Amino acid sequence: MNFSLHLENNELSNQEKSLTHLLVRVETPPVADSPDRRPLIVGLAIDKSKSMYGDKMQSVIESASALVNWLTRHDQLTIVAYDTNIEVVQPLIPLTDKYSVTKKLEQIRVGSSTNLSGGWLQALRTVEGASAENGYKRVILLTDGMANTGVVSPTELKKIARDHYGRGISTTTIGFGRDFSETLLKDIATAGGGNFYFIEGPEQAHEVFFREFGDIAALFGQGLEIRLRMAPGVSIKEFLSDIPHDYRDRTTGEGSTASEQSEKKDLILRPGDLRSDDLRNIVMVLEVDGNQASQSQGPLVEAELSFYNLQEDSRMETHGANLAGKFAPNPSSERDNNVRLESLLAASSKAMMEASRISGERDLGAARDVIRQAIQRLSNNRDVDPEIIDRMIGRLSDMERNLEDNLIIARKQLMAGGSDSKAFRSVYKAEAGVHNRILEHSMEGQLDLYKCPEVKNMVRRHLENGYRFMIFDLTDLSYVDSSGIGTMIQISNWLKNRGGLLILVNVQGNVEKLFQMSKLDEFFVFKDTVASARLFLQEIIQAAEESKG
């Protein structure tokens, strides 16, 4: 993996204070799983309050059933449904009998109020007590309303998330519809090391569960912590990335949440879990006192990254990085465009979340001003990367219009959009020596737990050689199990991260039935022949090249 620090300004003044952006980057490889990979231990906490009646509950049941089919027989699952009371729909079990689990899901019936904390805590407690000590543990908390019984304090709910994440259990939150608190669910997910999603209508439920499965199936590291040590005269002015952080005394090791910074304190960042083939960018604004910092004998910033490597029996792994500052009486105006772009995207995401919070207070004018300022900032820096900047401007413009049309939905879209760190992460992946040649690969026999590592190794080799467009001919593939399903999802995500695509050809028989049963026919592109798949990709490639110039 790669861990690095980057400064926006190539040179800083050695005579006065300067503001500059610091980019902390973590990039992980597309890991090839082994047959004995760590099991996933998943807890589903599903809101069954009265407001979930009808299409909402049906779509959640169908999406949760698809998740059951995507998990392997080596994974474990518990299902809790909550209203005023807590119902353990499925005690924690290995998924050797998926049919009985999906039948229990189908029997969930709506009730009354929303005891969010009760359902969530039950799922956390069950997952924590799992016998598989080396399993990766995550709870998925879904609600369509406000917590109105049990623990309702946002501060206490965030503490629950933070405490359990410290014990190795992450929490992902999913808000459904109009009536939940997007700020609360986002804060729980951030404190709990998971993701926050927004489901506007029943038709989107499957996509959200699909994205979450892709996330947990690609886990690489847990308990990620980044320690930053600033040289004298260097301090943090602003965090553009929404990352849990605090300060720790270098000598005693005691933590502190005080805003006052000291040369004797290290900054601790906790960005959540690491996934394979991930690109994590953290941006902050530094204030550098040139008079003082230029006299330092060491680096401007020292960093240490540590995490538990899930691919190596949770071994603690550490990486270091240093950043040397260059000072001059009259510094050059040259800047690192990569850092400029990441700082613009991070500031835009922060603006989305700020606009969401402001609009929650019914101050539509102020929320609109925040978005317009972000658009103006992007427009003024369009030269950095016109294609990416225009995409973000379009996204912000759409959200500004949505504020006028439907304030409640728009603020949830803003919060979810600002929280989505993957929305533009293909920027650098697509520049890493990729090309537009198409790989054609025929699969045969069985794609199961023991065959998957071989397929992933094959794909990884071609990724390293620049491929991002692939056609898999499944004519002679007779069997796929849930491990194979997970492999297909992961490969598809690897290619999409590089601006590419996976096409599946001639899916038939039992394999076709499994794709339909798992609802994967909604997320993959299927063609009848290799020739038609090749033509389809060539048209996509040609259109992309024409749009660039």
Residue-wise pLDDT tens digits, 45-97: 999 999 999 999 999 999 999 999 888 888 999 999 999 999 999 999 999 99
Read off the tokens for 362.
Answer: 């019914």
> Nearest-5° angle of CA 60, CA 152, CA 206?
15
Residue 314 neighbours by CB distance under 10 Å: 18
Alpha-carbon Rg of the chain, whole angstroms? 24
pTM, entire model: 0.87
Give the pLDDT band of residue 434 (cuts 50, 70, 90).
confident
- pLDDT > 80? residue 524: yes
Would you state the pLDDT for residue 36? 57
User: What's at 110, amino acid-wise?
Assistant: V
User: 2-31+220-335 — its CATH code?
Assistant: 2.60.40.10
- Condensed to tens digits (0 to 9), the pLDDT of residues 109-129 reads 998 888 899 999 999 999 999
Checking if the pLDDT of 259 tops 80, the result is no
430 pLDDT exceeds 50? no
The pLDDT tens digits for 303-356 are 999 998 887 777 899 999 999 989 999 999 899 999 999 999 999 999 999 999
The pLDDT confidence band at residue 428, using thresholds 50, 70 and 90, is: very low
Burial 338-359 (b: 16+ CB within 10 A, else e): bbbbbbbbbbbbbbbbbbbbbb
Nearby residues of 130 by Cβ (< 8 Å), 6 or more positions away:
41, 76, 92, 137
What's the mean pLDDT when you consider all of the chain? 88
Confidence of residue 186 (pLDDT cuts 50, 70, 90): very high
Whether residue 155 is predicted with pLDDT greater than 80 in this model: the reply is: yes
Q: Binning pLDDT at 50, 70 and 90, where does residue 256 land? A: low
- Residues 195 and 189: their CA atoms lie apart, in Å, by 5
What was the pLDDT predicted at 253?
A: 58
pLDDT score of 426 more than 80: no
- pLDDT at residue 355, rounded to an integer: 93
Q: What is the SS3 assignment for 40-53?
A: EEEEEEEECCHHHC
Query: Which residues lie closer than 8 Å to 327 by C-beta, 6 or more apart?
Result: 11, 12, 13, 14, 290, 293, 294
pLDDT at 429: 44
Q: Give the per-residue pLDDT at 113.
A: 84
Query: Tens of pLDDT along 233-249?
Result: 999 999 999 889 999 88
What's the CA gap between 123 and 117, in Å, rounded? 10
Single-letter code of the amino acid located at 377: R
Q: Is the pLDDT of residue 254 over 70?
A: no
| Range name among 303-307, 416-420, 529-533 with the lowest pLDDT average | 416-420
Specify burial of residue 183 (Cβ count, 10 A radius: 0-12, 13-18, 19+): middle
Sequence ranges of the domains in the chain: 2-31+220-335, 40-217, 338-429, 438-548
Residue 467, φ and ψ in degrees, nearest 5: -75, 140
Characterize the bridge pairing of strands 301-309 and 315-323: antiparallel
Distance of CA 152 to the CA centre of its chain: 26
For domain 40-217, give the CATH number: 3.40.50.410
Q: List, for residues 436-479, the tens digit of each pLDDT value.
A: 999 999 999 999 878 888 999 899 899 989 999 999 999 999 99
- Report the pLDDT averaged over residues 2-13: 94
CA–CA dist 224, 280 (Å, integer): 12
Phi, psi (degrees; rounded to nearest 5) at 24: -105, 120
What is the predicted pLDDT for the residue at 261?
52
Query: What number is the average pLDDT over the span 24-37?
Result: 76
Helix (H, G, I), strand (E, B) or coil at 424: coil
| pLDDT over 80 at 226, yes or no | yes
Task: Return d(Cα 534, Cα 541) in angstroms, integer.
Answer: 11
Tell me the average pLDDT across 236-263. Answer: 73
Name the residue among 374, 372, 355, 361 with its Cα closest to residue 415. 355
CATH homologous superfamily for 438-548? STAS domain (3.30.750.24)
Whether pLDDT at 515 is above 70 = yes
- Place 359 in a pLDDT band, splitting at 50, 70 and 90: confident
